[in-house]
Amino acid sequence: MKTRAISIAAAAAMLAGCSVATTVRQNTMAINGSSATIGSNTAAIRESTMATTALVPALQGVNGLRAPLESVAALSPTLQGVASLREPMTRVAALDAPMQSLAALNAPMLRVAALDSTMSAVARLDGPMQNVAAMRPSLDRVAALQPSLDRVSALDVRLAAVAGLGPQLQQVGSLGQPLERVAALERPMSQLAALGTILNRPLLLVGIGALALAAWGLVTFVAVRFAILSASRAHPKSERPLTV
């Protein structure tokens, strides 16, 4: 029993020694890890300190920008007004293509600008142009004469021939007074022309002759009848009235 107890105690002592050794090893490893972490943190702090030291001139320069930054801060209302122009500026930006097209018209616009004096002269024609516009009905009537004018233009050769008759026409012009006297005979000539048309129609002429003879016979009969009646009234007893 003693031997068994001793064996158990020895085993427990060995287990306890092993556990303590393991704990010591783990603690040593943890301490080594913490030391490495502290070393890395120290290096990082050193680098941060060096970087901060390097930023000192920059921070001093930023401190020198205090007055300009205050001036920029004073522009806050103006910048807000510019910010409110965002929508109009967006619409203006949407006009990029039309503005480029307008820019492409630079040369034509320069040529148009060179026409300033000519356009001014045209502008002074406003009154005459209005007068011409008021003549539109007359111009329309003249335009309606185009077929007649075409026919007149077709008479160019004949008119040239007539123009060559200038001396003869002057001689004819000297006959003005005789022609006026001839013109005064227009009515008799018309009546004579009417008689000429009758002569050109024999049947009509025969009919008119027959009517004239019938009228002459009727007039003669009426005259004789009236003469007999007058004679019978003048001598009612001495002579017997004649009958026809």
pLDDT in tens, the chain (244 residues): 556 656 666 665 555 555 666 777 777 787 777 777 887 888 888 887 787 777 777 777 777 777 877 887 888 888 788 788 888 888 888 888 888 887 888 888 888 788 888 878 878 888 888 887 888 888 788 788 888 778 777 777 777 776 777 777 677 667 667 667 766 766 776 766 666 666 666 677 677 778 888 888 888 888 888 888 877 777 654 444 445 4
Alpha helices (H) in the chain, listed in sequence order: 2-64, 66-74, 76-84, 86-94, 96-104, 106-114, 116-123, 126-134, 136-144, 146-154, 156-163, 166-173, 176-184, 186-199, 202-234
Those residues with Cβ within 8 angstroms of residue 162's Cβ, 6 or more apart along the chain or in another chain: 169
What is the reported pLDDT for 16?
A: 56
What is the reported pLDDT for 104?
A: 82
Q: Which residues of 94-111 are buried (b: 16+ CB within 10 A; e: fewer)?
A: eeeeeeeeeeeeeeeeee
Q: Which residue has the tokens 């005789």?
A: 178
Report the SS3 class of residue 242: coil
What is the reported pLDDT for 32?
A: 78
What is the reported pLDDT for 7?
A: 62
Which conformational region is residue 141 in: left (phi greater than 0), alpha (psi within -120 to 50 degrees), or beta?
A: alpha
Q: What is the pTM of this model?
A: 0.21
